[in-house]
């Protein structure tokens, strides 16, 4: 089971490297409002979707690759409950959405697990679906420093992929910038935060006391899952000085 679904099965809701605080900073810059047609790539547990929906956008569409996850979100937050809110099973590489149909797109902790070709296809899709002047936000894993050596990068990718059970291919901050710019976007804002996904203080601030307690109890009941979570945390700590969370907001230039 991929690490993010293992964490979700233990009760973890926030699955992105910079936590809720970095998400909030990104949303402050993206400013979702009643005038927006929003598309979220990879909504996962729907945590950011709820924050965005609280701003009552004109429409919202979550594009989630996992069928069961998309169906769960649709049943909880979508279609039947709120007009103009939908979650569909599709890849962010080919959303099936009309060109220029969104004013705001964002995605968190989803590009970092894609190959360079997939990253380029997802960014091209975001560019296509956005109206000129539309905003695009990302919140991803970054490697430090920009001049990180090839051997260190390979070791981090290999160990993280082995532990998390999905391909992990983060870029450096300078590479994320270049990727967005090569897709045609103009960068407006960026910031970084520590990659503390599994550190106790971050768990508390992301999940609250009740959530953290629920995760701790589930870990006690499931020794196999506990071992895997602790192994993931060991890798995050071993490479802590090379890992960061990064958020960027850019715009599709007006035609
Ligand atoms: C680490 S989780 C992050 C979930 C959520 N964005 C968050 O930050 O809590 C990765 C998510 O990306 C989704 N995903 C991965 N590749 C995708 C793709 N090409 N299109 C849509 N969703 C994708 C997975 O199904 C999963 O929900």
How far away, in angstroms, is 15 Cα from ligand 1 center?
9
DSSP 3-state of 185:
coil
Checking if the pLDDT of 80 tops 80, the result is: no
DSSP 3-state of 123:
helix
Checking if the pLDDT of 242 tops 90, the result is: yes
How far away, in angstroms, is 64 Cα from ligand 1 center?
7
Q: How is 28-67 classified by DSSP, letter by letter? A: HHH---TT-EEEEE--TTSHHHHHHHTT--SEEEEEES-H
pLDDT, mean over the chain: 96
Q: How many CA atoms lie within 13 A of 47 on its CB side?
A: 20
Among protein residues, the one with the nearest Cα to ligand 1's atom 7 is 15
Domain locations in the chain?
3-248
* Inter-CA distances, 222 with 6, 192, 219, 227, 232, Å: 11, 33, 5, 9, 16
Q: Give 161-202 pLDDT, tens digit per residue.
A: 988 888 889 999 999 999 999 999 999 999 999 999 999 999
- CATH architecture of the domain formed by 3-248: 3-Layer(aba) Sandwich (3.40)
Chain Cα centroid distance, residue 169 = 13
Name residues contacting ligand 1 (CB within 6 A): 4, 14-16, 41-45, 47, 63-66, 69, 91-93, 108-110, 113
């Amino acid at each position: 089971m991929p690490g993010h679904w293992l964490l979700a099965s233990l009760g973890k809701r926030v699955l992105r490297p910079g936590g809720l605080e970095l998400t909030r900073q990104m949303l402050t810059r993206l400013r979702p409002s009643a005038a927006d047609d929003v598309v979220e790539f990879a909504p996962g547990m729907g945590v950011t979707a709820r924050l965005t929906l609280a701003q009552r956008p004109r429409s919202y569409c979550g594009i989630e690759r996992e069928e069961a996850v998309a169906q769960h979100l649709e049943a909880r937050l979508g279609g039947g409950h709120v007009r103009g809110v939908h979650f569909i099973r599709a890849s962010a590489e080919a959303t099936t959405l009309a060109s220029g149909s969104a004013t705001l797109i964002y995605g968190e902790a989803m590009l970092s697990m894609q190959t360079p070709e997939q990253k380029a296809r997802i960014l091209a899709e975001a560019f296509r679906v956005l109206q000129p002047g539309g905003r695009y936000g990302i919140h991803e894993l970054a490697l430090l420093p920009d001049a990180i050596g090839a051997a260190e990068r390979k070791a981090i990718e290999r160990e993280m992929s082995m532990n998390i059970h999905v391909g992990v291919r983060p870029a450096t901050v300078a590479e994320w910038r270049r990727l967005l710019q090569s897709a045609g976007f103009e960068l407006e804002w960026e910031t970084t935060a520590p990659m503390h996904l599994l550190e106790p203080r971050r768990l508390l601030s992301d999940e609250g006391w009740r959530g953290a307690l629920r995760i701790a109890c589930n870990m006690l009941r499931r020794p196999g899952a506990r071992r895997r979570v602790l192994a993931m945390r060991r890798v995050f700590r071993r490479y802590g000085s090379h890992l960061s969370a990064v958020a960027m907001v850019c715009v599709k230039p007006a035609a």
